[in-house]
Structure 1
């Protein structure tokens, strides 16, 4: 594997091992697929296309993953909704929730499950770093959107993995008719910071 790529194995349930392979120049999106073992490097397509493998069948509802009902969504949200994300409320339209999965004082990598109510999305933002940095999203339950500046929005469903390099302007959140959750992974780097920008245009979001 080339030195400018990263490889991370994460087990979310028995026998399900998504493989994340991310370059440093483009966000990569791997959507709603189960990967057993390892994918060869050339099987991964860049430029926001999909790396195809077997379809993962959600035990709750098969391929039906939209969740307008909170009680049903909670059954799918295996890592828990957590508490209101009040510390970042000013950067979200709608209500979001945060459930840290590790102790930031002891873990070298910070992971948290972020949950969005239907219609909730964060503002455009950039993860800055002089070296390394960026963010990885591992989608867990419900349906959402991810969009980079100048590119069409990409649909997010359970099993979708998004690798976001630093210095990439983007936003992500729930679809207007579904709850949504993803694990957010902060990629280590040097001189890291997040710059919060304008809200997503309401008409553009409603048109998705």
Structure 2
């Protein structure tokens, strides 16, 4: 999880920043050396002189509520929280499709009812879990996930902040534990058209 946050931060910290726009488990791989690979940049966009996109892209289950209207880097943190929730589910000994997804009625994280049900189930299971030592409790991870899922984008942490929280939770990481560079702030100004790599045009808010 630490490497996922570091990878997302590395995209957001680029000049210009890059939005992957389809953060989900199927787009995350490990290579033969155990390194994280984020794949499928087919809908990715560079934030060339822009900070917010209004195009609709991604996978419904992990998409943020604002996707398609005011999409920016916080939307990717929301999607990452959905991935983290499934990792937490696996750490608790469950397969998401047979547990977490069922509790959420196969809904998307942006849906209030599905999100509430999913977090309630995770909270119950984390509280009941006794398989780990007290200092390795999964509670802090669940609390971090909650901070990444607010409806309002500006209430979510940046990917770098997520990374810092994970570094504070554990000290036995073997990679991706270096301090990260800062992301620049988003500045919102009127929209202008920009042509994407696929040839289609998306609405972009230029800065």
TM superposition score normalised by structure 2: 0.28
Q: Which has the higher helix share?
A: 2
- Greater fraction strand: 1
Say which one has the larger Rg: 2
Question: Normalization by structure 1: what TM-score?
Answer: 0.28
Tell which has more relative contact order, 1 or 2 (C-alpha 8 A, sep 6+): 2
